[in-house]
Structure 1
């Protein structure tokens, strides 16, 4: 034994992260790169002092109750924490950290892609060209919804929401937002604050979600709230699938209330919702908001920064 703390990596993280981890830790890598099951997590807690899980590993109260006392810290390779029962982990004196800041731009970029793709009928257009079916043109051909100069509603003005707003300003969008509290003027940058979601929705030609999934935000977008959007609005979700009542979303798309939707997350992951595939005006991606090489390295390094601080006897920067 080297005397180094033992770190378990249940998923395949970036090569740079693994190389750095080997400098300070005895690393156990799960080569199959499949989500760690409850039994695997419990078994590894007797072998590892630390874990670097992703959002795919679930630390429910039942799992936490079975963890071996050897495990001291869970340094998540994610920003979202809804896969961790934080009170249960704190009760076991297990430190929990995440990786904020470093994925904001990548996720905001993807939200912009989803918004543009849904607005400009990317699914229809790509399919026409790819299948060789593009054989005509007219002024009425493939007419979509213009983003530039439109009103954008943002739910959640944290790091990602603000990064998305910054990019949307490049399209001269009029930005409105709902947040638990109003931003300081320096961060608001001319965006219009709404005290309620109900006030925000009627002025949102485009609506983008950037809030966490909590018990209070499950099905935040339901039939009533979709109904408050302007006719022909475009809906974007690059945050969490739990935020959306998918049946209500399908109804809004099917009725024509929404002109389109751009989705990177779903209630069921992996897999998504097969019913969405029936609609060409739903542009979908497989939860890849942070999937750039630069961001994956940054996430891994941020998690390792938290681990290094903990094992140096310091409070990790991103401890909950």
Structure 2
């Protein structure tokens, strides 16, 4: 009997073609609409492998229904959508797709930083509304990026790639990380600072951390008040690391100058979310890795992880529980 696989979103045929014949494949056939919870609950009862997206909440309740499940392959770097402890208790492997999206996400992060600093989206809307009637000395003036201080919170793969881009703009680099990265400090001429000091000295602060119980609401009103009034806060990591209510208030009160957000605590973000109404916020619908080439690589890697696990091998991107 062929191992059974369920894929929670329609993937390009070129990605799943290699699975046909070897596996019994079922797939949610919608590209833009997530699989309904009740459908997923039924599908996992019989499957050996699950390929999911970050839109699926793979919690203990769902895992308890999956009597035959051997591996969960997440098509994302982050895996806060999966209860990895419940999976581990059941002997279920969990994998992610790091590496392949590093450069693409760093591109988007730096682009969001530029767009926010120079008020690009605000300026475009200004032009399209017919407001541009003349040139004036301080019209739509923003913040300089070149020569500014960039604070990176979380110096992982994407944080390093961001640092590489920032060096081309002659930015001074500082970072905060759970552990020191001495080799990277030398390579990128980047200085380690405690979080409080980083917030105080940075002109731009980029959040590049995974969402964990330790990083949830890591940036709240206390931290926002430490930042410069001219500072720009960028988040392309995960919503929930920044307290959105505190951020809204800080932007309203001009505690900080602007924010650029690709991620939100609730996704899709409600259209009436207060942050979407502020002129000094640039918002994107979680498109950090959204280049054609990168998304295809992510899907292919998720499939590779899945097939390695089902073959009895250790998947190359197996997530291991951290020791307490």
The interval holding the TM-score normalised by the smaller chain is over 0.9
Whether the 8 Å CA contact 1:14–1:296 is kept in 2: the answer is no
Q: Which residue of 2 aligns with 1:180?
A: 178
Q: Which residue of 2 aligns with 1:281?
A: 280
Q: Which residue of 2 aligns with 1:75?
A: 73
Deviates more, 1:270-279 or 1:148-157: 270-279
Deviates more, 1:20-29 or 1:158-167: 20-29
Whether the 8 Å CA contact 2:70–2:309 is kept in 1: the answer is no
Q: Which residue of 1 aligns with 2:322?
A: none
Q: CA deviation at 1:46?
A: 2.5
Name which of 95, 98, 101 aligns with 1:100.
98
Determine the C-alpha separation between the residues in 1 that align with 2:150 and 2:20.
45
Whether the 8 Å CA contact 2:49–2:310 is kept in 1: the answer is no
Deviations 1:57-111 (A, max 9, x none): 11112222222x2221111111111111111011111111110111111111111
Deviates more, 1:293-302 or 1:16-25: 16-25
Determine the C-alpha separation between the residues in 2 that align with 1:266 and 1:197.
22
Determine the C-alpha separation between the residues in 2 that align with 1:6 and 1:168.
46
What SS is found at the alignment partner of 2:192?
Answer: strand
In structure 2, relative to structure 1, the CA distance for the partners of 1:263 and 1:66 (3 Å cut) is: same
Whether the 8 Å CA contact 2:217–2:241 is kept in 1: the answer is yes
Determine the C-alpha separation between the residues in 2 that align with 1:20 and 1:105.
27
Q: Which residue of 2 aligns with 1:55?
A: 54
Deviates more, 1:265-274 or 1:104-113: 265-274
Q: CA deviation at 1:217?
A: 1.0
Q: Which residue of 2 aligns with 1:14?
A: 12
- Cα-Cα RMSD: 1.6
What SS is found at the alignment partner of 1:305?
Answer: helix
Q: Which residue of 1 aligns with 2:109?
A: 111
Determine the C-alpha separation between the residues in 2 that align with 1:92 and 1:312.
18
In structure 2, relative to structure 1, the CA distance for the partners of 1:269 and 1:186 (3 Å cut) is: closer
Q: Which residue of 2 aligns with 1:43?
A: 42
Determine the C-alpha separation between the residues in 1 that align with 2:316 and 2:225.
42
1:263 aligns with 2:254: no
Q: TM-score, normalising length from structure 2? A: 0.93
Deviations 1:271-314 (A, max 9, x none): 24621122111000001111111111110111122122223321
Q: Can you give the 5+ residue segments of structure 1 that lack an aligned partner in the other structure?
A: none
Q: CA deviation at 1:221?
A: 0.7
Q: How many residues align?
A: 316
Determine the C-alpha separation between the residues in 2 that align with 1:300 and 1:22.
15
Whether the 8 Å CA contact 1:209–1:238 is kept in 2: the answer is yes
Determine the C-alpha separation between the residues in 2 that align with 1:5 and 1:171.
51
Whether the 8 Å CA contact 1:151–1:176 is kept in 2: the answer is yes
Q: CA deviation at 1:35?
A: 2.1
